[in-house]
């Protein structure tokens, strides 16, 4: 895995809007998402080159109409992180 980008957003609809913008803005791929509190808190995980992931995450940090809770860019993630994300992707068999 090249780099991981994570954004945690309050609300399912704003999260989907953010994901759409991230995918259109930079050459990144959607990996998975985690919904907590009935979709009131959504973490989106993307992957791509470090520069592309940074660009996509930056897009979200500039969005004015969302409540961004947290964000991170992880270059060259440790293999244990990859295992954790693999478990998450198995929850959603359509990914």
Domain with 19 in it: 3-90
Q: Which residues, 6 or more positions from 39, have their beta carbon under 8 angstroms from its beta carbon?
A: 11, 12
CATH code, domain with 41: 3.30.70.1710
Provide, rounded to the nearest whole percent, the portion of the chain with pLDDT above 70: 93
Helix (H) or strand (E) holding 14: helix 12-25
Tokens of 89: 């992707």
Task: Examine residue 14 and state whether it is found in any structural domain, yes or no.
Answer: yes
Question: Do the domain assignments include residue 54?
Answer: yes
| Model pLDDT, residue 35 | 85
- pLDDT (0 to 100) of residue 39: 66
Number of domains, the chain: 1
pLDDT above 90 coverage of the chain, percent: 71
In this prediction, the residues of the chain whose per-residue pLDDT falls under 50 are: 95
Please tell me the pTM assigned to this model. Answer: 0.87
């Amino acid at each position: 895995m090249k780099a991981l980008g994570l954004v945690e957003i309050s609300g399912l609809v704003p999260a989907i809007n953010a994901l759409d913008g991230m995918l259109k803005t930079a050459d990144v791929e959607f990996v998975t998402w985690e919904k907590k509190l009935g979709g009131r808190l959504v973490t989106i995980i993307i992957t791509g080159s470090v520069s592309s992931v940074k660009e996509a995450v930056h897009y979200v940090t500039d969005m004015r109409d969302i409540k961004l809770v947290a964000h991170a860019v992880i270059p060259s993630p440790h293999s244990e992180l990859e295992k954790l994300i693999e478990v998450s992707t198995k929850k959603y068999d359509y990914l």
